[in-house]
Structure 1
Amino acid sequence: MLQPVELYSALGLADRNNLFNQLQSIYNNLPETTCEGCATCCKWGSPPAFFIEYLNMYKYLRDNMKDKYKEILEKSTEYFYLELVDASQACPFLNEENKCSVYSVRPFTCRSFGLLSQQDFEIGDRSLRSLAEKYWEEYNIKISDELVNSELAWCGKVASSQGAHIEKSILAGLAAQISTIDYKFFPQDLVDQEGTLLPYPTHMMNTVLGAGARARKIKVMKEFSDQGTKELLNTFIEKARSYQF
């Protein structure tokens, strides 16, 4: 996990260096898309975001969604701790109407979903089998078969204003441009080797609960996996809900 960064210093640095404008200029290389709104991708999990994208989403949440602070914090906390043991976890920004509540600042992963051809999308193994083995061997935590065997399928319901799929190398190049913005916040070798592309709730827990969030995760997962209870989780949810944006 990335070490926590002083959030408002990072936001100030991003503003002074026009990093949000740089991010938007990269987004502008993608065509506009529409879909049928089934939200299958949103229900599958929280998409990863680069750190600059997390800051962009955080700023939007702070400035435009004051009435949703506590709800988003609660959903993000629960997702962070239970994503591997509770198949019902969905993106914290999926609202009651099955729509994205931060659509205008959604990360690159969401913006580019559906733009690859089926052949390019299905290259590689995205299952959780190896991760499930690791958690069982090291922590005696069983990841449910439903999660282990689930994979986000290629979506043919996304319509692009460009009318054609985009080459995988082009999308990879745009993602790489976003990752270089994160050099402003972290050492370049850390960004390149460990990566700053993390699920939004992971970034949020770094901000809200600090460096100890990951250490507590195993205990929360094990309680839920073994007993189906959330007593320990609820203490962290209460702490998160008290966070001031």
Structure 2
Amino acid sequence: MAGIKKHEIEKAIEFAEKNGIFEKLNEIYNDVPTGKCSGCAKCCMESVGTGLSEFLNIYRYLQERPEKYRHYMKKVLDYYFFEYKEKKKCPFLDEDNRCGIYEVRPLNCRIFGHWEKEDYNINLESIKEKNRDYRDLMKSRYGFEINEDVVEYRIEYCENFVPDSGKYLSKSERLEYSDRMMILDSKIFAGDAIDIDFRDRGIVEYFIDSMFFTDTSYNIKIRMSQDWKKADKIMKKLLVITGIR
């Protein structure tokens, strides 16, 4: 049923453990500069882009904590299938604005406050255009409107975060971290430990693909978006199907 089968995930985790992938991942994390965060969690409002090695690390972390896994997978399902209806915070963010996977959070979360303002705002403008183009595509292809609050939502540049070094990361420095992450991911793909397509995924999409065939989950999401009156009933069935209740 899964786009990323459970036995393949387990095989990939075993491969990563034997080949020191998680140790190298932690080396990358430890190299990220530190800084002072106010804890407002205003940045924790999306399915942040995540590498394969990071997903495996987070998956392993949650599998070792079954209650946490069930708790957060309910929120992952809710985030994914109602994404076009309302803007929700990251499903791994708790009610007290604390990250439930803080120890293993992705690189993009760790470097968020370290962007130079000009670079961040250029990227934000690009995201605005992509969101609007995607809204228009969904309207023309499937005949429904994505909520404008979702389309126009912006995670603004953080003025409160202060790097301990007093220096923000340049674009080339940020890309260097991403390159190191891609090298780790390529080792897992090269080891034939997992059979999935090599594309950008958010953390939510990775977990959704671990529970459904990719086309299946997307088609259900479209169907729900076309008729929100039936969405709650469909969601209840999905919780039963996935065993997350």
TM-score, structure 1 normalization: 0.87
Q: 2:173 aligns with which of 157, 170, 186?
A: 170
The alignment of Structure 1 onto Structure 2 pairs a total of residues equal to 232
Pairs within 5 Å for 1:83-232:
83-87=83-87, 89-124=88-123, 125-127=126-128, 128-186=131-189, 196-211=199-214, 212-224=216-228, 227=229, 229-232=231-234
Segments of structure 2 that go 5 or more residues without pairing to the other structure are 192-196
Asked whether the 8 Å contact 2:16–2:188 carries over to 1, the reply is no
Q: Distance in 1 between matches of 2:183 and 2:224?
A: 34
| Pairwise CA distance, 1:139 | 0.8
TM-score, structure 2 normalization: 0.87
Q: Distance in 1 between matches of 2:22 and 2:153?
A: 34
Read off the aligned partner of 2:189 and give its amino acid letter: F
Deviations 1:62-92 (A, max 9, x none): 22x33222221110111122222222x2211
Q: Relative CO higher for 1 or 2, CA cutoff 8 Å, sep ≥ 6?
A: 2
Read off the aligned partner of 1:180 and give its amino acid letter: I
Indicate the percent of aligned positions where both proteins have the same amino acid: 25
| Pairwise CA distance, 1:217 | 2.2
Segments of structure 1 that go 5 or more residues without pairing to the other structure are 189-193
Report what 1:40 is aligned to.
Answer: 42
Give the direction of change, closer, same or farther, for the CA distance of 1:242–1:4 in structure 2 (3 Å limit): same
Asked whether the 8 Å contact 2:73–2:244 carries over to 1, the reply is no
Report what 1:191 is aligned to.
Answer: none
| Pairwise CA distance, 1:208 | 1.7
| Pairwise CA distance, 1:21 | 0.9
Q: Distance in 2 between matches of 1:215 and 1:229?
A: 13
Deviations 1:160-213 (A, max 9, x none): 22221011111012112102222234379xxxxx85432212111111223432
Please report the RMSD computed on the Cα atoms of aligned residues, expressed in angstroms: 2.2
